[in-house]
């Protein structure tokens, strides 16, 4: 389904059915598009300039865009309160905003 550019509420994301496998090894799902991607694109380096961070986050989101486990990955990142990196197509800051708006996301 094409993206409308609109975000879904956290409660709606948390209640979506999980399709595909979300087994993890280390910090990446086994079926994730990120398995073959450069790991540094998903996490911010210390003292990274803001413009570089934005470009890196957009590159990571592009990898997540067509991923078969994007929604389960996003759900996991929200439920586990992962405070860093791009997960499920959301940055840490975007997840923080969503969780602040709806702090009781079911695990």
Position 23 pLDDT exceeds 70: no
Q: pLDDT tens across 45-98, in order?
A: 888 899 999 999 999 999 999 898 899 899 888 888 999 999 999 999 999 999
CB 34 within 8 A of CB 28: yes
pTM over cut 0.85: no
Distance set, CA 52 to CA 46, 48, 58, 97 (Å): 12, 7, 10, 21
Q: 46: helix, coil or strand?
A: coil
């Amino acid at each position: 389904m094409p993206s409308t550019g609109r975000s879904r509420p956290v409660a709606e994301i948390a209640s979506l059915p999980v399709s595909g496998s979300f087994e993890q090894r280390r910090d990446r799902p086994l079926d994730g598009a990120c398995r073959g991607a450069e790991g540094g694109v998903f996490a911010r380096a210390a003292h990274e300039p803001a413009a570089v961070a934005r470009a890196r986050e957009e590159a990571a989101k592009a990898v997540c865009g067509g991923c078969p486990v994007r929604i389960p990955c996003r759900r996991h990142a929200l439920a586990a309160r992962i405070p860093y990196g791009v997960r499920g197509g959301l940055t840490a800051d975007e997840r923080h905003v969503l969780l602040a708006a709806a702090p009781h996301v079911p695990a």
